[in-house]
Amino acid sequence: MPFPSPRLWVVAGTLGNPGDFSPRAHKVIQDADLILAEDTRRAGLFFQRHGIVPSGVMRSLYEHNEEDRIPSVLEALKLGNSVALISDAGTPLIGDPGYRLVRACRTAGFLVSPVPGPCAPVAALCASGLPPSPFTFLGFLPRQPGGQRRLFHAWADMTTTLVFFERNSRLRATLRIALECFGPRELCLARELTKEHEQIIQGRLEAHDDMQWDHRGEMTVLIGPPSAPPKTLDSEVDQLLTKEARFGPPKEVAARVAGKVHGWSSKEIYARLMALSRPGSASFPEKA
């Protein structure tokens, strides 16, 4: 049951499968005094498929009119109306407009509540087999190669799974730039999620030319994090500890050594230092 108005509801629809539309989302949209849709024609067809008979009016809200819509939405909330924000598919704001509206409503002191549901980046990540945490959603990429390179280079050294949307007509070129910036990595391509012709294709970024998929529509692309460097050998760590141990307290030494080796945390280094410091240790012999 919806909470009392006035409130902005951010309502998730579906990615295509009607079985994923929640009863709560159905009721919030049907009861809203004002419905904001990215594409009102598509929204109307969606309502017909799900038997929604809106009691309020519907207005468009898309990238180029979002700022202009904000004053009228704030006025509707001041009058005690409830407002529902929906997108063409999935969860609003995730690759779609709405962020500026949500921010304006919160700044003005109005409640904003999510009605959660399907979300393409999360759905693709769950089925990809790639590390789910941490992940970074980049949204839609810049169209120009230079913009893509700048964005990819900014994330190249981060140990996070990257998720973004790309049009199929540009995907091959985008993956070539990604390979140039990231080097070899795991790759997953997802399209038509939750629908009859769903495709979730796993592969390698360096072998993307060998991957085949249907070239219609948009793709959710997932690129795995860089492979972890091999862990520095125990003997190398012991040599560093022997060299550094006399310069500062143990925790400071551990932090300093951890910054110089691969695959060891400062906690692991500290434990190793304590073990090597015990009486009789070959690395730290007892003083005469």
Give domain 7-118's CATH architecture: 3-Layer(aba) Sandwich (3.40)
pLDDT digits (tens, 9 = 90+) for 249-258: 888 888 888 8
Q: Is the omega angle on the peptide bond into residue 285 within 30 degrees of 0, that is, cis?
A: no
278 contacts: CB under 8 Å, gap ≥ 6:
284
Nearest to 224 by CA among 188, 186, 189: 186
The pLDDT tens digits for 94-119 are 989 999 999 999 999 999 999 999 99
Q: Are 100 and 67 in contact (CB under 8 A)?
A: yes
Four-CA torsion 143, 146, 147, 152, nearest 10 degrees: 110
Sheet holding 34-37, edge to edge: 57-60, 34-37, 82-86, 7-11, 111-115
Residue 285 pLDDT > 90, yes or no?
Answer: no
CB atoms inside a 10 Å sphere around CB 224: 22
Band of pLDDT at residue 278, cut at 50, 70 and 90: low
Window from 83-92, 131-140, 170-179, 224-233 with minimum mean pLDDT: 224-233
Report how far residue 115's alpha carbon sits from residue 163's, in angstroms, rounded to the nearest whole number. Answer: 23
CATH no. for 121-223: 3.30.950.10
